[in-house]
Structure 1
Amino acid sequence: MRRVVVIGATGHTGSYLVPRLVQAGHEVIAVSRAERQPHQERPEWQAVQRVTADRRAEDAAGTFGERIAALRPDAVIDMICFTPDSARQLVEALRPTRPLLVHCGSIWVHGPARRVPLTEDEPRTPYGDYGIGKAAIEELLHRETLAGGVPSIVLHPGHISGPGRRAINPAGNMDAEVWRRLAVGEPLPLPAFGMGILNHVHADDVAQAFQLALTRPAAVGSSFHVVAEQAMTSRGLATGVAAWFGRTPELEYVDWPEFEERAGKEHADVSREHIERGIAASIGKARAVLGYAPRYTSLEAMHGSLLWMVAHNQADVGGQPF
């Protein structure tokens, strides 16, 4: 049994991860801003110590890392670190006791793909504040490990989906209208001939990978992709979603200017970000070293999200059963 501190414990993935850790016999300390409860009420949460902390404010004050170190963890799982400075503060505070640090990265540390499936050591050209920041954090943590400091493992999830979270839709954005069009059989415009690649993963599969990382010494100092077995194209996802409603989708393949006109600039910009990356990530390394075995396909992860979205009035499927 380990004393495990989970930072960002009541978020989407944390809501699956914390019960898993309790079931595995770990002593769990859940750190969050206490602004929301876990989206799944599970009895395991009764065995969890809850700590309230505003990471952004405490990072600014230079106190967050020391607060985590004072909890005397054997391992720290960090789900919500987004800047190198935040990672540096945590590492410096943990260095005297050197607990295992498992960091949540992102497959967006890769830029546009040159070869697929992408492996973890593929040359990278990250762009955007999020991808560049996550890549810099990963580099910082691996340098720390190589120097004999805090041992770390970095996990790179794809588009995290499943109940409790809105999913990236088949058009590669968050436009709720896409779901309705596929459900009722209306035409759906897709850019790039519908061949944009999306790599979803169910939150419980991400939680599985974090749980496994705690017990795999060979993983220390390495990074791992955590996604579904296969990525899918936009047209493949759209076809799968329409099939839930007993339909064949009416897809219209349009150029980017027309897509922006019909979807709106905000949604089109998000689609372009996803499609230009075109990430289909390999899980071969995670399977071999961590023993990672995703239970859900990309489409199944998306299905869980849509069920949850409809139940919480965040998506309209025209009253169609599925």
Structure 2
Amino acid sequence: MSSRKRILVTGADGFIGSHLTEYLVQMGHDVRAFVLYNSFNSWGWLDRTAPEVRSALEIFSGDIRDPNGVRNAVKGCDIVLHLAALIAIPYSYHSPDTYVDTNIKGTLNVVQAARDLGARVVHTSTSEVYGTALTVPISENHPLQGQSPYSASKIGADQIALSFHLSFGTPVTILRPFNTYGPRQSARAVIPSIIAQIAKGKRVIKLGSLHPTRDFNYVTDTVRAFETVMNSDAAVGHVLNAGSGFEISIGDTVKVIAETMGADIRVETEEARLRPEKSEVERLLADASRLRALTDWSPEYGGLDGFRRGIAKTVQWFTEPANLAGYKPDIYNV
């Protein structure tokens, strides 16, 4: 293992953030977990992590939109892994202002604090910033296309982060994961939505468009990408795609999940789940060669075989009654 580090994880209470936080603790790092303040004193998914992991964490409850709180959270940390963001695309259609505040201003708060306090930043981007692929596979040089308020806010956040590296020498890396899936993912995402509907006994599954393709990545591959990037001096100043290089349509994803779960289903398109035509991202397929060249990262769940293995693990988690109870497949989760 690399030397022990003091790491701040923003968005530690979320899907990817909780997996990343657990992994870093298990690797022996000192981790401060930034979770969204709430009156329930909930730490999100970290409430359900193993006691030995939870007891090793320093929890910081705050709001990424508040510069003073962010500065206090960054104090004493060597590295900031910045995952806190609003990510639901449909919600960005009717509440775009919150995406600017959280994603752009929140990122500004992080890199400003890191600049002043001497921390290194790994900022989390998204493959959505590319929009519908103009060329495939998609390299980091692909044009950026804000096809939703969410993706536009992430483009802005990425550029703010990069500007601090170019303007002030702040050590920043942009990690751009393609579609991450796995245990704990929100039901607003397509894979949990399909699994949860089938697990609840439904055999007519309601979805949006089936023809778009995605490059899905099992969550542990994304977590390892964060680890390799934060340990690579060569990665500083770069934008790095993390993707499997395997492309599959939503329709074929449904078939893999149904086969894994032994379910005979049919799909109905629900109007509310369709993106506006020009906002839909039709195709995503990653070129992760730059990340591979600069680090020792490679996906363990690549290709169709890897996808099937990742889906099997995801299904196993979702079909445990205690986990499934937290999902509401009867309604559309925006």
Which bin holds the TM-score, normalised by the shorter protein?
0.7 to 0.9
For the pair 1:20 / 2:23, whether they are aligned, the reply is yes
Cα shift at 1:3: 1.1
Larger relative contact order (Cα-Cα within 8 Å, sequence gap ≥ 6): 1
For the pair 1:146 / 2:133, whether they are aligned, the reply is no
Question: Could you tell me whether the CA contact under 8 Å between 1:196 and 1:233 is conserved in 2?
Answer: yes
What residue in structure 2 maps to residue 209 of structure 1? 225
Question: Within 2, Cα distance between the matches of 1:264 and 1:236?
Answer: 18
What residue in structure 2 maps to residue 47 of structure 1? 56
What residue in structure 2 maps to residue 95 of structure 1? 115
Cα shift at 1:218: 0.5
- Residues 1-322 of structure 1 correspond to what in structure 2 (within 5 A)? 1-33=4-36, 34-35=41-42, 36-38=44-46, 39-41=48-50, 43-56=52-65, 59=66, 62-69=67-74, 71-81=75-85, 82-166=102-186, 168-169=189-190, 174=193, 179=198, 191=209, 194-246=210-262, 262-269=268-275, 273-274=279-280, 276-296=281-301, 297-311=306-320, 312-313=324-325, 314=327
* Partner secondary structure for residue 240 of structure 2: strand
Cα shift at 1:177: 8.1
- Alpha carbons of structure 1 residues 308 and 166: separation in structure 2 relative to 1, 3 Å: farther
Question: Within 2, Cα distance between the matches of 1:307 and 1:53?
Answer: 33
1:81-102 superposed Cα distances (whole Å, 9 cap, x missing partner) = 4422222222222222321101
Alpha-carbon RMSD across the aligned residues, in angstroms, is: 3.2
Question: Within 1, Cα distance between the matches of 2:254 and 2:328?
Answer: 16
* Partner secondary structure for residue 147 of structure 1: helix
Question: Within 2, Cα distance between the matches of 1:310 and 1:166?
Answer: 15
* Partner secondary structure for residue 101 of structure 1: strand
Q: TM-score, normalised by structure 1?
A: 0.79
Question: Within 2, Cα distance between the matches of 1:40 and 1:273?
Answer: 36
Q: Among all aligned residue pairs of Structure 1 and Structure 2, give the percentage whose two residues are the same amino acid.
A: 20
- Alpha carbons of structure 1 residues 226 and 25: separation in structure 2 relative to 1, 3 Å: same
What residue in structure 1 maps to residue 96 of structure 2? none
Cα shift at 1:292: 1.7
Question: Within 1, Cα distance between the matches of 2:76 and 2:251?
Answer: 49
Question: Could you tell me whether the CA contact under 8 Å between 2:10 and 2:84 is conserved in 1?
Answer: yes
Q: TM-score, normalised by structure 2?
A: 0.77
Question: Could you tell me whether the CA contact under 8 Å between 1:198 and 1:233 is conserved in 2?
Answer: yes
- Unaligned residue ranges in structure 1 (runs of 5+): 252-261, 317-322
Question: Could you tell me whether the CA contact under 8 Å between 2:115 and 2:168 is conserved in 1?
Answer: no
Question: Could you tell me whether the CA contact under 8 Å between 1:65 and 1:91 is conserved in 2?
Answer: no
Question: Within 1, Cα distance between the matches of 2:167 and 2:205?
Answer: 56
Cα shift at 1:19: 2.6
- Unaligned residue ranges in structure 2 (runs of 5+): 86-101, 330-334
* Partner secondary structure for residue 114 of structure 1: coil
Question: Could you tell me whether the CA contact under 8 Å between 2:137 and 2:245 is conserved in 1?
Answer: no
- Alpha carbons of structure 1 residues 149 and 310: separation in structure 2 relative to 1, 3 Å: same
- 204-213 or 263-272: bigger deviation: 263-272
Cα shift at 1:248: 7.8
Cα shift at 1:51: 1.8
1:35-61 superposed Cα distances (whole Å, 9 cap, x missing partner) = 2242432623322222222334xx2xx
* Partner secondary structure for residue 319 of structure 2: helix
Task: State the one-letter code of the partner of 1:103.
Answer: H
Name which one, 1 or 2, has greater alpha-carbon Rg. 1
- Alpha carbons of structure 1 residues 247 and 163: separation in structure 2 relative to 1, 3 Å: closer
What residue in structure 2 maps to residue 259 of structure 1? none
